[in-house]
């Protein structure tokens, strides 16, 4: 998901994304351990996407971006 799309989301939507992404990373790691993951780079991509969302949430907490700027 692109940063522009993420910035247009509300805080609640971002937190929902975090829950979904954490579950995805867990499932990918589980599948890797079971040798059922075709592309292990998906784990890295998922972790980076999660970090992007967490960064946006933190920026809003610190007041670096307001909801008006994100919309």
Is the model's pLDDT at 19 over the cut of 60? yes
Q: What is the pTM of this model?
A: 0.83
Q: Is the pLDDT of residue 69 over 70?
A: no
Q: Distance between CA 66 and CA 63 in Å, rounded? A: 6
Q: Locate 36 and state its tokens.
A: 């059922």
Mean pLDDT of the chain, nearest integer? 90
Main-chain phi, psi angles of 42, to 5 degrees: -60, -30
Centre a 10 Å sphere on the Cβ of residue 58 and count the other Cβ atoms it contains: 10
- Region 40-49: mean pLDDT is 96
Residue 68, pLDDT above cutoff 80: no
| Distance in angstroms between the alpha carbons of the first and the last residue of the chain | 16
CATH class of the structural domain 3-66? mainly alpha
pLDDT at 64 over 90: no
3-state secondary structure of 63: coil
Where are the domains positioned within the chain? Answer: 3-66
């Amino acid at each position: 998901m692109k940063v522009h799309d993420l910035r247009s989301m509300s805080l609640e939507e971002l937190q929902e994304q975090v829950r979904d992404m954490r579950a995805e990373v867990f499932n990918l790691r589980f599948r890797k351990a079971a040798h059922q993951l075709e592309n292990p780079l998906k784990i890295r991509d998922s972790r980076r996407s999660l970090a992007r969302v967490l960064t946006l949430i933190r920026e809003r907490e610190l007041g670096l971006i307001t909801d008006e700027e994100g919309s």
